[in-house]
Copies of this chain bind each other. A is one copy, B any other.
């Protein structure tokens, strides 16, 4: 049984807590948050505290607070030589105060408060200085039913950046499609199967091979038809830049 103390009460911390609760191999022995109100609802099932000096001994301390707060919080820990990890995509492993054993346990997924998370779909990027710490973190991922991978800080940073492209930016393209359809009384609803299919396709094919459409074919007639339809200048900027990008990737045009 691996004992865990969770520090923080955001989306990731809360989803981790709930997932650990139903695994047999990991036990959350304590939950810390600066503002105890946020975790008060759990006081009957786990020891809660807002006092860092009261933290109990555990195999690993998982710090899941805002990026800016990680460094300061680890400085304030009063113990030494224990495994302390954060869950951030962008914070350096060395930002964890070096009096403890440093590690990273970054879930590469989008967490929202309400939506249920299936941890089978949450790959963990694991980093640790000591080999036994890496294996302990890997065992925690296994207990969650999650895939995991050894990822160093540079790789983690680019994965976090790439995640913005496939998550936030992709979602913004959905938003633009929503604006375009609604402006003509068409239904965004009609696009939902295509959205899902587009994401499914690159589970097996590379995005390069999966590409289709007028930009890739250099189908000028369709590109011109679209240009005429794009009355919103901002939508047009996105259309032009991504069309150029596709044509560059597929050898139609130099940037």
Contacts and interface: CB of A to CB of B under 8 A. Distances in A.
Contact of A211 (B171, B196, B230, B239): B171
A162 B177 contact: yes
Q: Is the interface of A mostly helix, strand, loop or mixed?
A: helix
Interface residues of A, number: 88
A112 B115 CA distance: 32
A74 to B, nearest CB: 18
Nearest to A216: B168
Nearest to A193: B121
Given A125-B190, A245-B172, A245-B176, A195 B212 contact: no
A132 interface: no
Interface of A: 67-68, 90, 108-110, 112, 115, 121-123, 125, 149, 151, 154-159, 161-178, 180-181, 183-188, 190-203, 206-208, 210-216, 221-222, 225-226, 229-230, 233-234, 237-239, 241-242, 245-246, 248-249, 255
8 A-B pairs with the lowest CB-CB distances in the bound complex, closest first? A199-B199, A168-B213, A162-B177, A174-B207, A155-B186, A175-B207, A121-B193, A158-B184
